[in-house]
A = this chain, B = another copy of it.
């Protein structure tokens, strides 16, 4: 791990042009390149402050609302950690998981829970066309309440995973890559293989691979997306990645062979997902309440998956990577062959070798979320960080 200098990060932060105050963080590609970098710089600074026992509280009181429409332990804890370290209390909003609310219901509820809320974190990744849409409805709802003087503050929304993007994950992945290669500038030209891998489970969201190709393509990386024919991602996001790569001087290509993707890769990210058309059909069937159709679809999807059990990260294909020693990334938990399932995304020996790395990768998430919140709540983040350092209140007294 690299040594982080809080002061250096603050100096770099000062040079960036930001428009994040009172804004949400929903998709990384809605943020400027400066804003993406700022988020990482602030996250690193906050992480270093936590490590060196300096308080990161910017609130005396206030609520951080979590809305999880999908089960989650890790992201829930990361959000709780972030909210707490800033001085807020978490309050869970338990909407029924399958409930797809719109319009006045969303507007009213969002306002009713937000009278003292400073941030709202939402995970809604299960249904294509729903997650991101719901987050935008909540965002408009609290903007309405704020404009009408009902809410005293404009809660910042943080996307904790939608159907489109998983920015708190991809930004953590990025933070790990920056640390691993020693700076944003060193990402240029590095090959990352974001590749599908076999899993015995069904309906894994697309937001992780989409988040990775949509973000890493901005840093001049050589992004290779690999999957068996038919396992496409949302076309609009693939377009985003293509444009990003063109703009950043990187590369983006799609291949249908894991070996080809792994060839000379500096980073591999083997991870299962459900095909785009399956997720879309699933949403349609759910909307029409076709339970028999849903069962059929699951059967069919699992049968399709079963044809691709050879899409597995092994000692053999790891040898194809740069010096046979690419960094293995995963958002965790992984499907580990012979450990968490009979046949999965990765063999145990590879997974085990990279445990300190995948843990380290995950360890950025609470601080990435903190950074997203801080940048939405504070008009001059560099000054705020300097204030915190100068005050130097200890986290543990």
Contacts and interface: CB of A to CB of B under 8 A. Distances in A.
B396 A152 contact: no
A149 interface: yes
Identical subunits present: 3
Q: How large is the interface on A (under 10, 10 to 19, 20 to 34, 35 or more residues)?
A: 35 or more
Secondary structure at chain A's binding surface: helix, strand, loop or mixed? mixed
A396 B77 contact: no
Given A80-B91, A93-B73, A336-B104, A116 B85 contact: yes
A395 B81 contact: no
A277 interface: no
A393 B393 CA distance: 16
A74 B395 contact: no
A354 interface: no
A39 interface: no
A271 to B, nearest CB: 16
Interface in A328-348: 332-333, 336, 339-340
Contact of A60 (B62, B150, B352, B394): B394
A359 B152 CA distance: 13
A112 B75 CA distance: 9
B362 A116 contact: no
Contact of A55 (B60, B80, B151, B352): B60
Contacts of A73: 93-94, 109, 112-113
Nearest to A71: B94
A89 B87 contact: no
Contacts of A352: 104
A178 interface: no
A59 B108 contact: no
Contacts of A396: 58-60, 62, 118, 153, 377
A105 to B, nearest CB: 7
A58 B105 contact: no
Interface string A254-288: 00000000000000000000000000000000000
Interface of A: 1, 50-51, 55-63, 65, 73-74, 77-78, 80-81, 84-87, 89-91, 93-94, 103-105, 108-109, 111-113, 115-118, 145, 148-153, 332-333, 336, 339-340, 352, 355-356, 359-360, 362-363, 365-366, 377, 387, 393-397
